[in-house]
Amino acid sequence: MQLTEIRDQFEAMGINVAALTFDSVELLKDVQLDGDIGFPLLHDENRKHVEAFGVLNIEHDPGSRVYGIPYPGIFLISPDGIIRHKFAETRYQHRPDFTNVLEAAKDM
C-alpha cells in the first residue's frame, strides 16, 4: 500500500499529508509534474530534519553512494509541532505499515 492510496483516509481525519526528502528541488519538481501525488513534497536541505528525526542511515562508509540515505519513516505531528508517533524501518526496502499508522492517527 502506498501513501497516495490512503491519503484520503488521513485527510478525512483532518490530517495533512506531506513527504520529506533530501532529493534535489529539481527532482521534486519533476516528480510533482509527472504525476498527481496529491500532497506536497518537501526538501530537507542538508538532511537537517532527517538527522533531527533520527532516521539518518550512517551504517555505510561516508564515501559510499548510499551513505546518509534516510530510513523510511512516517511521523504523526500534532498541530502544535510535537511528534506524537514515529514509524521507521531500518532497511530502505521496507516501509512502515499504514494500517498501524492509521490506527495511531485515530487515537490522536
Residue 71: the pLDDT is 84
Q: How far is CA 49 from CA 11, 34, 70, 82, 100, in A?
A: 23, 26, 10, 14, 23
Q: What SS3 class is residue 50?
A: helix
Residue showing cell 532529493: 23
Q: What is the CA radius of gyration of the chain?
A: 14
pLDDT tier for residue 85 given thresholds of 50, 70 and 90:
very high
Instruction: Identify the structural domains of the chain with CATH numbers, from first to last.
Output: 3-106 (3.40.30.10)
Residue showing cell 530510513: 71
For 36-68, what is each residue's pLDDT tens digit?
Answer: 777 888 888 888 988 898 888 888 888 888 888
Strand partners, 21: 43
Model pTM above 0.85: no
**All residues at 6 or more sequence positions from 22 whose CB lies less than 8 Å from its CB, including other chains:** 43, 44, 45, 46, 47, 50, 68, 70
Contact call for residues 102 and 12 (beta carbons, < 8 A): no
Contact call for residues 31 and 54 (beta carbons, < 8 A): no
